[in-house]
Amino acid sequence: MIKSVAGIIYLKNKYLFQVRDKKPSIWFSGFYGFFGGLVDKGETPNQAIKREILEELNVSITKSELLINLNFKTKKLEEKRDRYYYILNLKKNFEKKLIISEGAGFKFFSIDQIKLSNMIPWDITAIYYHQLLIKKKEFRPK
């Protein structure tokens, strides 16, 4: 099973997304997705998200909270995936100091600006769940 992490950075009602490189050797080339990556051997998912965000954005996380853990297998992926999505808090004004070291860039999108056709599919699930929580939608039986 492949374990990976993704960081949800939500600032002023917008999500921060990585613009993925347009390389035929990577999954979802040219798509938008959350920053993150693989969990290294001997590392916890929480340690992995802190390392990945520091490596990819050159910023430290002040707080991380697990939002959702998705375990899935798709038609095209050969191995099962275990993906951990964390809500991240970063230092104030972090967006002015971002140094992207992976991907083709970054972009902030509001929920209304997100286009399903160019988003990593499982990231959409995490966004939808996050939106339910922040809008305090009741989804549990009474």
pLDDT in single tens digits along all 142 residues of the chain: 999 999 999 999 999 999 999 998 888 999 999 999 999 999 999 999 999 999 999 999 999 999 999 999 888 877 899 999 999 999 888 888 888 888 899 999 999 999 999 999 999 999 999 999 998 877 666 6
Query: What are residue 81's DSSP bridge partners?
Result: 2, 72
Predicted local distance difference test score (pLDDT) of residue 98: 85
Residue 54 φ then ψ, to 5°: -65, -45
Specify the residue for token string 């990819």.
Answer: 56
Specify the residue for token string 């993704």.
Answer: 6
Nearest-5° angle of CA 46, CA 100, CA 67?
Answer: 30
Q: Which amino acid is at 131?
A: Q
Is residue 5 exposed (0-12), middle (13-18) or buried (19+ Cβ within 10 Å)?
Answer: buried
Query: What are residue 113's DSSP bridge partners?
Result: none
Instruction: Specify the pTM.
Output: 0.92
User: In the Cβ-directed half-sphere of 72, how many Cα atoms lie within 13 Å?
Assistant: 14
Predicted local distance difference test score (pLDDT) of residue 112: 93
Coil, strand or helix at 10: strand
N residues, the chain? 142
